[in-house]
Amino acid sequence: MEFRQVFTIALKELRDRLRNRWVLAVALVFTVFALVIAYFGGAQQGAVGLRSIEFTITSLVSLVIYLIPLIALLLGFDAIVGERERGSLDLLLALPITRFELLLGKYLGLAAALSLSTLVGFGLVAVLLATQIGAAGLEPYAGFMFSSVLLGLAFLSLAVMLSVL
């Protein structure tokens, strides 16, 4: 397996997604929703604001459960079938690259785009939390961000698999 070819395809896929401004829009949606939900998440208990890391993570779980899988599926559904519809799949397969390298490169590029948008979106909340509770208390939030990215990558795997069929 040629890792240089896989990296080239992944970089092309990431550049295509960044040029599409899709990643920026998703990061903006994550940021707005995460800020609103984190700030008003404790309103049912009578507390508004970034009070504690536990309330913030609990409030953001509902955003992660619904929005990240949906975005991952939307991002990956046309990974292969979109290339086939545009007519560029035949050109890619004519290159000296295996199908596995093509799939791996596409997946890694899409995974980088999804991870970037998720981390940027939740990053602003992390900065605000650091000003409220201090940077030392952000380990649970970092774990939450990491598990959110893993959830997105799992659903992205399913989307790329369905795109091949």
pLDDT, tens digit, 9 for 90 and up, residues 18-43: 888 877 888 888 889 888 888 787 66
Cβ neighbors of 45 (< 8 A, separation 6 or more) are 55
Residue 86: per-residue pLDDT? 87
Residue 162: per-residue pLDDT? 94
What tens digit of pLDDT does each residue of 9-20 get?
999 999 998 888
Q: Which two tokens stand for residue 16?
A: 């295509």
pLDDT at 156 over 90: yes
Q: Which two tokens stand for residue 95?
A: 């290159």
More confident residue, 50 or 4: 4
Query: pTM higher than 0.85, yes or no?
Result: yes
Among 23-32, 99-108, 120-129, which range has the highest average pLDDT?
A: 99-108
Domain of 72 in residue numbering reads as: 3-164
Rg (CA), the chain: 18
What's the total number of domains in the chain?
Answer: 1
% of the chain exceeding 90 in pLDDT:
41
Residue-averaged pLDDT of the chain: 88
Cβ neighbors of 119 (< 8 A, separation 6 or more) are 145, 149
Token pair 């401004």 is found at 21
pLDDT at 44 over 70: no
Residue 43: per-residue pLDDT? 64
